[in-house]
Amino acid sequence: MKWLKWMLPITVLIVSAYGVNYIVNNKPDAKRGRPQGPQAMTVEGTRLHRQDFQVWLDSYGVVKPRTESHLVSQVAGKVVKISERFREGAFFEAGDILIRIDPRDYQVAVDIAEAELIQAQLGLKEEQARVEQALRDWKRLGKGVAGDLVLRKPQLAAADAAISSAKAKLVRAKLSLERTRIKAPYAGRLLSKQVDLGQVVSSGTVLAEIFAVDYVEVRLPLNNRQLEYVSLPEQYRGGELRSGNLPEVSLQAQIGRQQYSWSGKVVRVEGAIDQGSRQLFVVAQIEDPYSLGPQGNPPLKIGQFVQAKIKGKLLQGVYVFPRTALNQDNTVLIIEKGRLQSRILDPLWTDEESVVASSGLENGDLLNLTPMGAGVSGLAVRAVIDGEPLVNKNGADKERKRKRPKQDEDRLHQGDPEAAKPAVSG
């Protein structure tokens, strides 16, 4: 049993020595391959071409009536009748009687004025008869030329003036009677009312607020940058207009989940810059906003907020590309020879979707559209231009010549001289 204690360590040493000798004499052949460079990033791009671009200026405003006024009573009395159209939101036409005030007192005044006129006319005729009688008496006496008092000329003038006064009183009485019928001064709509049936009003009492419905207006602010790209109807002191064409305006409003639009025109420009916002307000006019048109739009409401797009100038021969391609430092990335190159631009116009430039780019440039971080100028990329992969024939041939079949690499490591010959591409 003692020999087993000596044999076990000796056996372990022999096996270990044999393993080390095998490993040393059978080293693996390391195959050396070509180091692979970093993989090129795939980006999307577009090919730039000169084109025309229609500028639309974004603005906003609140719908206001062209004419808004207070309906005021010019006589005192009790409201005895109200029209069905004298309700908030109701439409009325010019000349419609909206309110009737008790006319009896004013009818009595008319009757009295008519009686006074008749009495004055009678007095004039009596005075004319006296004048004729005085003239005959003076001629019978034969004492020369008669004076005005003898011929009663002052009395005749007073009688004539009494008739004029009576006529004026009658006109005033009839006018007051007419004013007991409150008529609409124009075609409009009732905004609010302050009186109702049975209420006693005095002269000067506000009866209602009304507004015209022939068209509405919207004040739209424009900043200094926007004013460069629109021709406004500026009016000068002599009445001349700088632009005879009224810019088109498209108004949009969200009602629930539905978007509606109305068309109008810029009709005038206000004469002062707003001191708070430093913006100039222009006034857009929408004609007949309350009729049912072919689009079925709901009528515009006074005080309704709307977004507006004003048609500006047409920019000709410019480059147009998505806003996302422009970086915050006004640079874009151009794809040149498979690499990204940064280029600084001075855009003519920018909006939420597009950027317009006239310089700094060339026709046929490949613009990168993929969002990239800073410091990517010079980065190698694979480009997909307008949905099609960009094919670089020279670069593809060089790539094929640079690659060798795996079998040739193995033969080269084994010392085969045939594997050192240049590869022949298809």
Same domain, 385 and 323: yes
Average pLDDT over residues 66-80: 93
Is the confidence at residue 173, as pLDDT, over 80? Answer: yes
Over residues 329-362, the pLDDT tens digits come to: 889 999 998 899 999 999 999 998 999 999 889 9
Which pLDDT does position 230 carry in this prediction?
A: 92
pLDDT digits (tens, 9 = 90+) for 264-298: 999 999 989 988 889 999 999 998 888 876 667 88
Residues 83 and 120 in one domain: no
Please tell me the total count of domains within the chain: 3
112 and 94 within one domain: no
Q: If you average pLDDT over residues 135-143, what whole number do you get?
A: 77
Q: What is the mean pLDDT of residues 138-160?
A: 78
Domain boundaries, position 169: 103-179
Sort residue 338 into left (φ over 0), alpha (ψ -120 to 50) or beta: left
Mean pLDDT of 253-274: 89
Q: Do 98 and 164 fall into the same domain?
A: no
Q: Work out the average pLDDT over 171-187.
A: 94
Statement to judge: residues 189 and 161 lie in one domain:
no
109 and 169 in a single domain? The answer is yes
Q: Are 95 and 184 in contact (CB under 8 A)?
A: yes
Q: Is residue 375 part of a domain?
A: yes
**Which among 124, 159, 179 is the end of a domain?**
179
Domain shared by 113 and 97, yes or no: no
- Neighbouring C-beta atoms of residue 286, cutoff 10 Å: 19
Higher pLDDT, 236 or 208: 208
Kindly calculate the radius of gyration of the chain based on its CA atoms and give it in whole angstroms: 49
385 assigned to some structural domain: yes
88 with 146, same domain?
Answer: no
DSSP string, 12-45: HHHHHHHHHHHHHHSPPPPPP-PPP-PPPEEEEE
Residues 324 and 190 in one domain: no
Output the pLDDT for position 328: 86
The answer to whether residue 301 sits within a structural domain is no
Give which of 101, 165, 153, 96 is closest to 127, Cα–Cα. 153
Query: What's the rounded mean pLDDT across residues 396-415?
Result: 45
Average pLDDT, the chain: 84
**pLDDT number for residue 6:** 64
Same domain assignment for residues 342 and 325: yes
Residue 420 falls within a domain, yes or no? Answer: no
Q: Is residue 187 part of a domain?
A: yes
Cα 226 to Cα 222: distance, rounded to the nearest angstrom: 6
Answer yes or no: is 275 within a domain: no
Q: What is the CATH number of the domain that holds 83?
A: 2.40.50.100
Residue 27 domain flag: no
Identify whether residues 140 and 86 lie together within a single domain: no
Quick check: is 356 in a domain?
yes
163 and 89 in a single domain? The answer is: no
